[in-house]
Structure 1
Amino acid sequence: MRRPLRHPAGPLRNPTGLLSAALIAVLVLLALVGPPLWGGSAARVDPGRINQGASAAHLLGTDALGRDLLARTLVATRLTLGLALLATAIGTVGGVLLGALPALLPRGTGRAVVAAVDILVAFPALLLAMFTAVVAGLGAQGAVLGIGVALAPTFARLTHTLTASIAGADYIAAARMLRVPRHRVLVRHILPNIAEPLILNTAQSMGTALLGLSAMSFLGMGVQAPSYDWGRLLNEAFGHVYVTPSAVVAPATAVALAGLAFMLLGDAFAKAAAGPGTPAGRTTVPATAPAQAPPAPGAVLEVRDLTVAFPGGVTPVRQVSLTVREGEIVGLVGESGSGKSMTAAAIGQIVPHPGLVGSARTRLCGVELDGLKGAERRKLLGSSLAMVFQDPTSSLNPALRVGGQLAEVATLHDGATRAEARARAVERLGRVHIKEPARVVRQYPHELSGGMRQRAVIAMGLMGAPRLIIADEPTTALDVTVQREVIRVLREVVDDTRAGALFISHDIAVVSELCDRIAVMYAGRVVEELPADALRAARHPYTRALIGSLPDMDTDRSRPLTTIPGRQPSPGDVGAGCAFADRCALATPRCTTRPELRTTGTGHAVACWEAP
């Protein structure tokens, strides 16, 4: 029986959250009814009762003009909360805008903004608030502006950190490939997905703002007479604290309780959002001379000597050559870290900075990509290439409905109207065997199962008319039954559209079932390429080891499963010889020289000196 999902407890289901919410509710009620009910008592001057202590007539005593201190404290609730709310709004809006700027500005200018934010965060907040208040002018206006400016750097740092944490998500990369303007990527894709922690921080900052404003008024830099807030009341009572100690009780208690209530509520929301057990909180590289050979017949993708390098001598992809023809599925298989996904990223031209990409030839639909200008290249990639990533959860924006995300491809790239794009989204979802597609387009990604999300991502790739589909381990996170459904959908899509497909996986059994040809990668290179139906005739020791590690119905369950000894070298540690030599039982001194990929039969090539 499937166990239902367990949702985090709500913030008001624990004593701390409930108590803080009750305190804030009382404060809001006092702010609303305080001035009408006690405004007269708070303003009534009584020369005969100056600086008196607690009495039946005045429960907490009077001030230097004989006015009731309890009434004045209750009336001051409205101004105190109002100023704190305004300061928090200034700090939140200003901080979010400042933290989002690096995502909109050029890299150098963005780094300068981040450096400025770091300096402001290191500066003491109260001193920054006091400095701003002095410049803006003493009084409530200067104090609010000062506290708002003091809160902004923290929000800016949080916004920048959260933005950077999701900047590499697949749906962000897809939006950029579709040439979505930077400001729209920020507003539509980034900010909705980081809103929750910003809201939680706002609740806690309200308490900080209230305490800061009270401190400013207490020091004489905030609210000025005849207006008064809790800090101003403390300032007026401080001179008589030794004579009538009860004069500071009401405003001091109000400041402490209100500040504590907002901070506890923010903490309760943070814990509820985190869930149980979780703490709150293209440049090119030198390559061989471009080849002028004619395009391979029927090829939708032709890559020669593709190389990807990163600073420090890290080269995850080394002179990879691949050809994918119409209606053909080519499998790219190998252990994790062999360079499969980076090869796909290089073909789609989404290698992250500071990666360097170079090739002797990269042709998509017979067009040389390196010969195109930036806009032309993006248009060709956007219309002819579809990428299906490993994790559909990161490929789909969790803050947007499925239909809107699919329709965005058609509206931005093909110029379709919203109605046309929506109709196409429904049709594409139906094509990948999603039941009730008209209902699914109105749902959010979290409402779909893993298999449905993966099929929705495939449908997104089909919103145009792609000639090449790159599926990067699309079945890894799915159970066996759903894996077979996704594989069937991919096979049907290729057969129906006659598109070519590059299917990337570490599971050689899945690849052999789905693909027409297989390319085996090891340490950044293709070490063998052969037809899928000739897999049992593989010649490279690594390919044979992968096949040998697969259990079947005849496997002796009393013996340990077959494994490949040793481990694959990291991209920065690959030597000049055969990278597999240290793990190979057939290795000889000749293997200190790297073997080239050579043809050994029809559609079969292998890079091994000792291949039988």
Structure 2
Amino acid sequence: MTATTMTATTEPDDICADPPESFARRARQSVRTPLGAAALAAVLLLAALAVAGPVVFGDQASRIDTAAMNQGVSGAHLLGTDSLGRDIAARVIVATRLTLRLGLSATAIGLLGGLVLGLAPSVLGRRGGRAVTGVVGVLVAFPGLLFVLFLATIFGIGSTGAVLAIGLALVPPLARLIQNLATTVAGSDYVAAARILGVGRFRIVVRHVLPNIVEPVVLFAAQAATGSLIAFAGLSFLGLGVQSPDYDWGRLLNEGLSRIYVNPASALAPGVAVVLAGLVFGLLGEALAQTAGRRTAARAVPAAHVPAATDTDGALPQTQADVDSSALIQATHLRVSFPGGRTAVRDVSLSVAAGEAVGLVGESGSGKSLTALALAQLVPHPGHVQGTVRFDGHDLLADPRSGRRLGAELAMVFQDPMTSLNPALRVGRQLAEVAEVHLGRSRKAALARAVDRLAAVGIPDPERRARQRPHEYSGGMRQRAFIGMGLMAEPRLIIADEPTTALDVTVQKQVLELLGRIRANSGAALLLISHDLGVVAEVCDRVLVMYAGRVVEELPVARLFQAAAHPYTRALVGAIPTMATDLDRELATIPGRPPEPGEQVTGCAFATRCAFAQDRCRGELPVLEPAAGGAGHRVACWYPRAVGSDTTRDDTARAKTEVVQ
């Protein structure tokens, strides 16, 4: 590929955005909204009652007046008096402090325990994580009210026992929520990128998982605070909570219940206080979530490995003649399987030399992306990788510790940059982490290099852009920023998985030119995954065509359109419209569908869709063998199409038409 110089142009949607707002500024803006203002006013009022109530109304609440016993509502006593003549309204206000203190203490215990158990599977190993998940599952299945009563019996009657009982009862549901959220975030591409950088589990949890689950955890904590108030009221009402001479709203409710027909206010007032306090906590949770303004990802990945299923399709392993021992990365008999007998990648052997650009093409589901993820050791659980993957002479599968070097020497450009960048962190901070982990740079030096890399990939005003978050970037800028992340440590291999998907033609051209310029300047090798044969032809030197998890043809890119030998490759080429395409005819399509990963296929997987298939194709699996007419051209087909100087693009299109018909 000829190196081209890329000009730092601004895309139509690269409109300068304001610098990211701090949490304090977002909080001030949130207060100006009706929700924020109502939450602030309610919290301040509740806090004032809790702080000042015992000071102002303490004497009135504890003063015994035998002359005013069991009085109803009056001007002197707004809610009447109890059996000792004490003012009920004053007692409800004074009880606010103890009720809130106990409720918030229980919520804090539940939140702390939920965070510990919820995040434990992300930090512990496979067995420890599964054990914690199983324990939490059992506890969640136990009815909450019975769990509280059981714990209250164990810890004993009194406020301390009630705090422990309610707090511990809040732990299982919160832990389950955090486990689900953490697992969802752990399946994001930016977490996979952090793992390939060599970032430890604990740091991933602190920097990548926690910031992205703040909103739902805050909302749940607010709901938990409301639930703890109700639970305390219930325990005290039953006599298991606060004991005399102390009192909270639940104990006052118990005392007033016996006189509900004489003085309904004495019983209803504590209950109304519980409801209003719960509404305050709900408003506070919504306001905090609005201030945070973050959303989590929606892709779940389990956290433990299981044995791989054995492929029983009777397939013969592919052979790769004359494997180049000097290849930068080399995979031999690579297989990626999942439980249930699903094998997505079957005996793939490939190599990429230093400085070479190789394209990996095929329909969706052909195994292209999983092959690339296997090379980068990023196959998600419960996938199991078998075979050999050697990077610069090191066997990555045999010695997992050698994979840490991938963070500095391999750059992975994912298909969707929005899910590849952590939405909770500034872009510059995410790029700088690479230099800190793998180059040992200081925080300041790493950030300076991040700014330099953003400028290198053509992002205008890189210093300002480094302070912004991914949502403030356009699609093309996010893709360039992620490529810049890969350039932080001078990679020797770039794996680009559909890097131009969903980008317009202009931005697509800029990204391709950028990849070409990077190769020319650094000598890095490139493995490009794409559905677009035109993109592959422009960028790559060699092409591997995959179908049903296997490489069915390997050829130089110069022979792709004129001398493809496999019917599947020719069908792909024939499906590309050209300027000479007859507008009155429907575009060519390949009939049928590829086999599912779990299907057992005998013979050639393309036989059911191939117009040239014969009995041998349906009974025997072809292997990659040299094709006639060109060096470096191999094809896995019993009856390859004629390859020669007279084979033209029109011949390929006609072969495609035969397949369709």
| 2:586 matches 1:560 | yes
The CA deviation at 1:341 is 0.7
Aligned positions of 1:115-154 closer than 5 A: 115-154=134-173
Q: Secondary structure at the match of 2:425?
A: coil
| CA distance in structure 1 between the partners assigned to 2:319 and 2:607 by the alignment | 31
Q: Secondary structure at the match of 2:552?
A: strand
Kept in 1, the 8 Å contact 2:320–2:349? The answer is: no
Q: Secondary structure at the match of 2:537?
A: helix
| 2:274 matches 1:255 | yes
| CA distance in structure 1 between the partners assigned to 2:439 and 2:290 by the alignment | 44
| 2:226 matches 1:218 | no
- The aligned residue for residue 324 of structure 1 is 352
| CA distance in structure 1 between the partners assigned to 2:283 and 2:167 by the alignment | 21
Cα 1:85/1:308, change in 2 over 3 Å: same
- The aligned residue for residue 603 of structure 1 is 632
Cα 1:419/1:263, change in 2 over 3 Å: closer
| 2:599 matches 1:573 | yes
Q: Secondary structure at the match of 1:330?
A: strand
Comparing 483-492 and 362-371, the one that deviates more = 362-371
Comparing 569-578 and 16-25, the one that deviates more = 16-25
Q: Deviations over 1:57-93 (max 9, x none)?
A: 1121101111111121122222222222221111111
| CA distance in structure 1 between the partners assigned to 2:326 and 2:14 by the alignment | 49
- The aligned residue for residue 594 of structure 1 is 621
The CA deviation at 1:411 is 1.8
| CA distance in structure 2 between the partners assigned to 1:213 and 1:431 by the alignment | 60
Comparing 220-229 and 296-305, the one that deviates more = 296-305
Match of residue 541, structure 1, among 539, 548, 567:
567
- The aligned residue for residue 72 of structure 1 is 91
Aligned positions of 1:283-432 closer than 5 A: 296=324, 299-359=327-387, 361-369=388-396, 373-375=399-401, 377-432=402-457
1:577 alignment partner AA: G
Cα 1:534/1:447, change in 2 over 3 Å: same
2:454 alignment partner AA: L
| CA distance in structure 2 between the partners assigned to 1:291 and 1:333 by the alignment | 20
Cα 1:272/1:507, change in 2 over 3 Å: farther
Cα 1:326/1:16, change in 2 over 3 Å: closer
Q: Secondary structure at the match of 1:299?
A: coil
Q: Deviations over 1:516-554 (max 9, x none)?
A: 211111111111122222221222211121122122333
RMSD: 3.2
The CA deviation at 1:269 is 7.2
- The aligned residue for residue 514 of structure 1 is 539
Cα 1:3/1:26, change in 2 over 3 Å: farther
| CA distance in structure 2 between the partners assigned to 1:3 and 1:251 by the alignment | 57
Unaligned runs of 5+ in 2: 1-11, 18-28, 299-304, 643-661
1:410 alignment partner AA: A
Q: Secondary structure at the match of 1:528?
A: strand
Q: Deviations over 1:79-121 (max 9, x none)?
A: 2222222211111111111111122222222222112112221
1:582 alignment partner AA: T
Relative contact order higher in (CA < 8 Å, ≥ 6 apart): 2
The CA deviation at 1:19 is 6.3
Kept in 2, the 8 Å contact 1:401–1:445? The answer is: yes
Cα 1:201/1:416, change in 2 over 3 Å: same
Cα 1:379/1:165, change in 2 over 3 Å: closer
The CA deviation at 1:11 is 8.6
| CA distance in structure 2 between the partners assigned to 1:69 and 1:80 by the alignment | 16
| CA distance in structure 2 between the partners assigned to 1:594 and 1:99 by the alignment | 48
1:330 alignment partner AA: V
| CA distance in structure 2 between the partners assigned to 1:42 and 1:370 by the alignment | 73
| 2:185 matches 1:166 | yes
| 2:459 matches 1:434 | yes
The CA deviation at 1:159 is 0.5
| CA distance in structure 2 between the partners assigned to 1:110 and 1:141 by the alignment | 31
Q: Secondary structure at the match of 2:213?
A: helix
Kept in 2, the 8 Å contact 1:205–1:263? The answer is: no
Kept in 1, the 8 Å contact 2:319–2:623? The answer is: no
Q: Deviations over 1:491-532 (max 9, x none)?
A: 111111111110001122221222121111111111112222
Count of residue pairs brought into register by the alignment: 603
| 2:219 matches 1:200 | yes
Cα 1:97/1:297, change in 2 over 3 Å: closer
The CA deviation at 1:297 is 7.1
| CA distance in structure 2 between the partners assigned to 1:24 and 1:341 by the alignment | 51
Kept in 2, the 8 Å contact 1:130–1:143? The answer is: no
TM-score (normalised: structure 2): 0.84
| CA distance in structure 2 between the partners assigned to 1:173 and 1:557 by the alignment | 45
Kept in 2, the 8 Å contact 1:178–1:378? The answer is: no
Kept in 2, the 8 Å contact 1:204–1:264? The answer is: no
Q: Secondary structure at the match of 1:575?
A: coil
TM-score (normalised: structure 1): 0.90
Q: Secondary structure at the match of 1:296?
A: coil
| CA distance in structure 2 between the partners assigned to 1:427 and 1:125 by the alignment | 55
1:608 alignment partner AA: C
Q: Deviations over 1:438-496 (max 9, x none)?
A: 22222222222221111121111122222111111111132222211111111111111
Q: Deviations over 1:343-384 (max 9, x none)?
A: 11111122223333233x53322444456x332x12332332
The CA deviation at 1:337 is 0.3
Kept in 1, the 8 Å contact 2:222–2:285? The answer is: yes
Kept in 2, the 8 Å contact 1:384–1:468? The answer is: yes
- The aligned residue for residue 38 of structure 1 is 57
- The aligned residue for residue 231 of structure 1 is 250
The CA deviation at 1:21 is 6.3
| CA distance in structure 2 between the partners assigned to 1:214 and 1:487 by the alignment | 65
Kept in 2, the 8 Å contact 1:60–1:246? The answer is: yes
Match of residue 465, structure 1, among 475, 486, 490:
490
Cα 1:220/1:563, change in 2 over 3 Å: same
| CA distance in structure 2 between the partners assigned to 1:564 and 1:335 by the alignment | 10
| CA distance in structure 2 between the partners assigned to 1:56 and 1:407 by the alignment | 68
| CA distance in structure 1 between the partners assigned to 2:317 and 2:637 by the alignment | 26
| CA distance in structure 1 between the partners assigned to 2:193 and 2:286 by the alignment | 35
| CA distance in structure 2 between the partners assigned to 1:249 and 1:349 by the alignment | 63
The CA deviation at 1:261 is 4.2
Kept in 1, the 8 Å contact 2:46–2:277? The answer is: yes
The CA deviation at 1:42 is 1.6
Q: Secondary structure at the match of 1:174?
A: helix
| CA distance in structure 2 between the partners assigned to 1:501 and 1:532 by the alignment | 14
Aligned positions of 1:493-508 closer than 5 A: 493-508=518-533
- The aligned residue for residue 5 of structure 2 is none
Q: Deviations over 1:544-566 (max 9, x none)?
A: 21122122333333432221111
| CA distance in structure 2 between the partners assigned to 1:424 and 1:179 by the alignment | 19
Determine what percentage of the aligned residue pairs are the same residue.
55
The CA deviation at 1:272 is 10
The CA deviation at 1:33 is 3.3
- The aligned residue for residue 61 of structure 1 is 80
- The aligned residue for residue 647 of structure 2 is none
| CA distance in structure 1 between the partners assigned to 2:46 and 2:517 by the alignment | 63
